[in-house]
Amino acid sequence: MAKVIVQPCGDSEAKSNFVNTIEKKVSKEHVLSFLNEIQKNKLQTFPDAMVPIWGVTSGSNNINKNKWDTIHNGDIVLLYKENIFFQKAEIFQKFISNELATDLWGKKKDGSTWECIYILNNLEKINYKIEDYNSLLGYKEKFKVFGFNVHTKEQSKILLENFNILSEQGILNEVDTEEDNQTFERLVLNSTSSERNTLTYIRKEQATLRKLLINKRENVECYLCGEVFPKNSVSCAHIKPRKACTDDEKCDPYVVMLACRFGCDELYERKIITVTDNGVIQLNKGITITPGIVKATKDLVNKKCFKFESKSIEYFRWHRNN
């Protein structure tokens, strides 16, 4: 079974390396010129003329290299920055090359370079939150990914089995079409209270609620600002946080709303804006109002929610008062 590798690339050096050699990719011809015959033969079979490529330093006492030695072609890499695993890819090939690493990324101040190289295939944008990863692996809530790491078989199995669940899109494809309502009822009626707190269940519940709100439309309005966005740019946001909801409330379609990812979702979740009993959006007076917040909320404050349901009043009230 494939192993799962986590690769942080959030520091400034890594960010620009990411743009240069994963996003823009590197010409296969160029990489080939650094390889020996066996390595060349493998890379020749890469399906594109441009290859996404990454490297890690050996690290002091070979701490990274020893981990890198255990990875195999076909293993899965999760790229990580700012609390999100944002890209998933497969290891296509790996090799050590100080020369290629220096050519692509230069050298660090201490003279080392990212010589433990791997070439990636099947890149896919993802959006896995660190909290979900931590809860799957039983890590502490506040745990952050700091270094390159290769997971054990057991950990990898857990992560791989949950990838489809973590990926909203995966679930949307899985339980598609006519049966959404029935799916939801079955899900809810057949599960015990403790099951409702497992990640698998939560993901399914949220995906189903989202589908109910989106209702097969490609473009949808944000319930707060009213602007129309492609469905992938809106979140199904809890009006009252899920963890504060009773089991019945968790299954209430009025506990969630569509909130755009261009401000509304974040402003509401951070409780920078709240919604009154009459559905009017207000600035939360209890927070520090910076010029940025004033700018970000100027088109929202004192406006009525674009879509406001009286059945959601209690949930908005909870959000305001807690």
Write out the binding residues for Zn ion, residues 72-101 only, by CB under 5 A.
none
What secondary structure does DSSP assign to 123-176, as a single string?
Answer: EEEEEEEHHHHHHHHT--TT----S-EE--HHHHHHHHHHHHHH-HHHHHHHT-
* Residue number, 89 or 225, with CB nearest to Zn ion: 225
Task: Rule CB under 5 A: choose which of 5, 78, 260, 281 binds Zn ion.
Answer: 260
* Residue number, 90 or 221, with CB nearest to Zn ion: 221
* Residue number, 134 or 276, with CB nearest to Zn ion: 276
Q: Does 31 bind Zn ion (CB under 5 A)?
A: no
Contact 4, 159 (CB under 8 A): yes
* Residue number, 202 or 220, with CB nearest to Zn ion: 220
CA distance 193 to 117: 47
Neighbours of 313 (CB within 10 A): 17
Number of residues located near Zn ion, criterion CB under 5 A: 5
* Residue number, 140 or 295, with CB nearest to Zn ion: 295
Q: Does 300 bind Zn ion (CB under 5 A)?
A: no
Beta carbon of residue 262, minimum distance to Zn ion (angstroms, whole number): 6
Torsion of CA 166, 172, 173, 177, to 10 degrees: 160
Handedness of CA 58, 60, 61, 67 (dihedral sign): negative
* Residue number, 255 or 273, with CB nearest to Zn ion: 273
What secondary structure does DSSP assign to 213-245, as a single string?
Answer: HHTT-SEEE-TTT--EEEGGGEEEEESS-GGGS
Q: Does 6 bind Zn ion (CB under 5 A)?
A: no
Q: Does 225 bind Zn ion (CB under 5 A)?
A: yes
Tell me the chain's radius of gyration from C-alpha atoms. 23
Q: Which stretch binds Zn ion (CB under 5 A): 76-84, 129-137, 217-225, 287-295?
A: 217-225
Q: Which stretch binds Zn ion (CB under 5 A): 86-94, 205-213, 222-230, 288-296?
A: 222-230
Beta carbon of residue 222, minimum distance to Zn ion (angstroms, whole number): 3
Strand runs (DSSP E) across 36-135, as ranges? 50-51, 53-56, 76-81, 84-96, 116-129
Q: Which stretch binds Zn ion (CB under 5 A): 8-16, 142-150, 167-175, 254-262?
A: 254-262
Q: Does 264 bind Zn ion (CB under 5 A)?
A: yes
Beta carbon of residue 124, minimum distance to Zn ion (angstroms, whole number): 27
Q: Which stretch binds Zn ion (CB under 5 A): 10-18, 122-130, 153-161, 260-268?
A: 260-268
Instruction: Quote the DSSP letter at residue 36.
Output: -
For Zn ion, what does the binding mask look like between residues 34 and 63, x meaning CB under 5 A? ------------------------------
* Residue number, 116 or 225, with CB nearest to Zn ion: 225
CA distance 131 to 115: 31
Task: Rule CB under 5 A: choose which of 71, 222, 257, 275 binds Zn ion.
Answer: 222
Measuring CA to CA, how many Å separate 189 from each of 179, 185, 206, 251? 15, 6, 16, 10
**Three-state DSSP state, 185:** helix
Torsion of CA 135, 137, 142, 146, to 10 degrees: -140
Beta carbon of residue 233, minimum distance to Zn ion (angstroms, whole number): 9
* Residue number, 224 or 257, with CB nearest to Zn ion: 224
Query: Where along the sequence are the contacts to Zn ion (CB under 5 A)?
Result: 222, 224-225, 260, 264
